[in-house]
Structure formats: structure tokens, C-alpha cells
Amino acid sequence: MNCIFCKIIEGSIPSAMVYQDDKLVAFNDINPAAPVHVLIVPREHIASAAAVTDAHAGLMGHIWATIPKIAAKLGIQDNFRVITNSGGEAGQTVFHLHFHLQSP
């Protein structure tokens, strides 16, 4: 599959990783839109938020339980935003589910 985030996850494309565990990775966005801007990406290839099903409920819970830890590691735990774009017209450009974690 020609997916840039799968390649980052497998290590064939370099990235600035800020957090990794068995279910997700987080790395700096190559084109940051805020002073802190990381992408939180499940290791499983899921095309977008629209492709999330009940089978992903545990993974989604893990992502949301990990976001405060990543925010704390980056020093933005008191003020941050989380965004996911689903579908090209909504601004999605990489079709592997990811959450933008940004400082104000």
C-alpha cells in the first residue's frame, strides 16, 4: 500500500517521533500550523474517521486516554486542540486516520 503514514510507522520514511506504543505513534507535523503540532496515528491503517467501526472502540479509547499524556510530554496539557479531517473536502490529505494535536 502506498501510504505515507504506514511508511513512517514502519520506519522507511523518517519522522520526528515524540511518542510510540504498541497501538499508536505520534510525530511532528512536517508543516506545523502551530508552535506545537503533532500527528497521532494508529499503527493500524484505517482510512479516516469515517471508516471507524465498533471494532475500533478499544483503539479509540486508547488514543483519547493517551492524548493527555502526549500533551503533557509536550508541555501543552493545559491548552490544546485535537482535530481530525475526514474526507478530502473536509481537508483530509493523508488517507490514514490521524489526529492533529496542536498548541494554541
Chain residues binding ligand 5GP by CB under 6 A are: 4, 13, 15, 27-31, 39, 85, 91-94
The listed partner (Zn ion, ligand 5GP, none) that binds 27, CB under 5 to 8 Å by sort, is ligand 5GP
Q: Does 3 bind Zn ion (CB under 5 A)?
A: yes
Q: Residues 6 or more apart from 58 whose CB is under 8 A from it? A: none
Indicate whether 45 belongs to the interface with Zn ion (CB under 5 A): yes
Residues designated catalytic: 98
